[in-house]
Chains A and B, each alone.
Chain A
Amino acid sequence: MKHVISVLVENKVGVLARITGLFSGRGFNIESLAVGETENMNISRMTIVVSGDDSILEQVRKQLGKVIDTIKVTDFTGTDYVERDLMLIKVSAVPGKRSEVVELVDVFRGKIIDVGQKDMVIEISGPEDRLEAMLDLLRPYGIKEVARTGRIAMNRGPK
């Protein structure tokens, strides 16, 4: 099962390696990882998406908490939360096909942030399934490159 885990850590050198080392040391593949400062510049939030057996993930969650620099670990799975992923897509858009691509991007509330002779760069954010749907629809036009931030997540309601 897929888990979205948020880890609040002290913003220090080497913390990322400590956290990711816990996964790699147990043979877990991290599906996505996003790291950034929080409202407090001394604290960073890491959002990690990983799949695996529930009891093993419970162990990983505890191990994450054991890292001295970890302040808080939250597993969003099964809770009420929102999640977003940001993606840049370079898609082939030759004259004649351009308007079709622009229409699709509009439907998905994406943005065109660069237009070249033969291609465009599209920015889109949203939950994973929306990004996947966008990719599926753009694929026939020829996707040249994709860059994604990895998922970030937050609980609904008060902190």
Chain B
Amino acid sequence: MSRTGSQILIDVLKKEGVEYIFGIPGGVVIPLFDTLFDADLKFILTRHEQAAGHAADGYARATGKVGVCIVTSGPGATNLTTAIATASMDSIPLVAITGQVKTHLIGSDAFQEADVTGITRPITKHNYLVKDIKELARVVKEAFYIASTGRPGPVVIDLPVDVTTDTWDGDIPEKVDLPGYKPAYEGNMRQIKITAEAINRSKRPVVYAGGGVISSNSSKQLIELAEKANLPVNTTLLALGAFPEDNELALGMLGMHGTVPANYAVHESDLLIAIGARFDDRITGKIDEFAPHARIIHIDIDPTSISKNIRVDIPVVGDAKHILTELIKHVNYVDRKEWFEKISEWKKKYRLSYNSTNDVVKPQYVVEQICQATKGKAIITTEVGQNQMWAAQYYTYTEPRSFLSSGGLGTMGFGFPAAIGAQLGCPDKIVIDIAGDGSFQMNIQELSTAVNYKLPVKVAILNNGYLGMVRQWQEMFHDKRYSHTRLDGNPDFVRVAEAYGAAGFLVEKKEDVRPVIEKAISINGPVVIDFRVDPEENVFPMIPAGQAISQIKGVELI
């Protein structure tokens, strides 16, 4: 039976189990949207293409499925690029379909034309320009396979309008055939045994768990390994929730704004067990002084991650779930009394803390109250900056896929659209975007989307009237010269919310924090809460960029 390109695309999407598509129509995708009009797929119309990408990303992070978005050519596609780069840096599976001008016009500077495969090449796992309808079904199938297997990532399909209207009578291929792409899942057995021996012999081991633990769905295996072998565990920002923070073995977050125990444990360890992490500069600080006494084990599905930033002693390439499952069989319980005594001393001495006061609302207090009100069971998305770090530090994450944040690219404006995607993927969860007043305004138009689809997402703005993290750096490293970080001219967020048809609340007093959070949660619709917080509160602890733990700020090291 002959089908149009649009029909073929939709048929493959359905076959791949796609539930939601995020996007915005435009000139060259009108025929595709005409077919979509009758299709048995839910389309979510965002108000900006970047938000469509982040929403698909949030959906993917919350559910583990591939996020899908469709936008038009030219500006539609270029608007989407920030979202694609965000997904790429954090290894999130996305399939992004961009319309393209007619094949014979490509390269002629046609109306709304952009070289999308050229622009997106360095920020995708792979991309395609489909010039022949005969390739379409195969390409879409491959795109899903590539996006979701190995180290996941975004795949772009650039689709000229004449390919969507052309017809073809072929079938969707059953299998993909990619001779150059064969991700290894099983780890090398010999390496796994060497790893187990190293763990069994280690006196001061520590696990450094990254986002790969979440993308490989191996939280359970991580807990089992840590408990069986008696290993303290710290997580990266992207791995928050991969290991329950209320577990006795948990040390919390590692890195620039991580906990002192997590950073100390790495510094003093004799064996660092990195799992699905990539030794980012926000983790290592000064490379020469990172884990100076430790042998380094690195479990990762991506061979290019091994020894990229730091020399690895024992690499194990493969899927964390497969490898941890094997590894568990070969490790023994070791007491390590001295090591754990040291750790519990650090934990006692260096609790995360802030100056609690009744005069002003402290942002940390807001996050703590959100945690208590939701019993730690909400999905928290964040923007980027101070709000992100406080959300990471003061909420206790106990489940994977409950903390969604742009780690690698650090994209302000991510959290709110990501919350929309997460809410659609997890309709029974409370979804809260912990935002800053600066970040929220980078995708504030999505209030329309949330109202449109009656999504009960909550936005908790930690409103300090500044681009807060930059202001903090200016305070600490540039003599308080607040160059263009004051957000004079912020709107009345309550009235903005109301203008969009959402609920809005203003909180200026500490005693109102909890009741308003409770009230917001009880409302079955989008809510914006404008928390006026201490304007010059800083995020601590902080290891300044490129430095070692000894240079930590905001904590008295004893």
Which A residues lie within 8 Å of B303 (CB)? 62, 65-66
29 contacts between A and B (CB under 8 A): A9-B180, A10-B179, A10-B180, A13-B129, A14-B117, A14-B121, A14-B129, A17-B118, A17-B121, A18-B121, A21-B121, A25-B122, A55-B307, A58-B307, A59-B304, A59-B308, A62-B303, A62-B304, A63-B304, A65-B304, A66-B302, A66-B303, A66-B304, A67-B180, A68-B126, A68-B178, A68-B180, A68-B181, A71-B179
Which B residues lie within 8 Å of A59 (CB)? 304, 308
Which B residues lie within 8 Å of A67 (CB)? 180
The 7 residue pairs across chains A and B that have the minimum distance between CB atoms = A62-B304, A68-B126, A71-B180, A70-B180, A68-B181, A66-B304, A71-B179
Taking CB as reference atom, which chain A residue is nearest B179? Answer: A71
Q: How large is the interface on B (under 10, 10 to 19, 20 to 34, 35 or more residues)?
A: 10 to 19
- Judge whether A75 is part of the interface by a CB distance below 8 angstroms: no
- Judge whether B161 is part of the interface by a CB distance below 8 angstroms: no
CB under 8 Å from chain A, chain B span 254-313:
302-304, 306-308
Check A69/B122 contact, CB under 8 A, given A62-B303, A62-B304. no
- Judge whether B497 is part of the interface by a CB distance below 8 angstroms: no
Whole-angstrom CA separation of A13 from B308 in the bound complex: 29
Which A residues lie within 8 Å of B308 (CB)? 59
13 extra interface residue pairs, beta carbon distance < 8 Å, beyond A17-B121, A65-B304, A68-B178: A9-B180, A14-B117, A14-B129, A17-B118, A25-B122, A55-B307, A59-B304, A62-B306, A63-B304, A66-B302, A68-B126, A68-B181, A71-B179
B residues whose Cβ falls under 8 Å from a Cβ of A: 117-118, 121-122, 125-126, 129, 146, 178-181, 302-304, 306-308
Taking CB as reference atom, which chain B residue is nearest A10? Answer: B180
Tell me whether B304 and A68 are in contact (CB under 8 A): no
- CB of B554, distance to nearest CB on chain A (Å): 35
Which B residues lie within 8 Å of A69 (CB)? 180
Q: 1/0 contact trace for A10-41 toward B, CB 8 Å?
A: 10011001100100010000000000000000
- CB of A30, distance to nearest CB on chain B (Å): 16
* Most chain A Cβ neighbours within 10 Å, of B125, B146, B180: B180
* Most chain B Cβ neighbours within 10 Å, of A9, A17, A62: A62
Whole-angstrom CA separation of A142 from B321 in the bound complex: 66
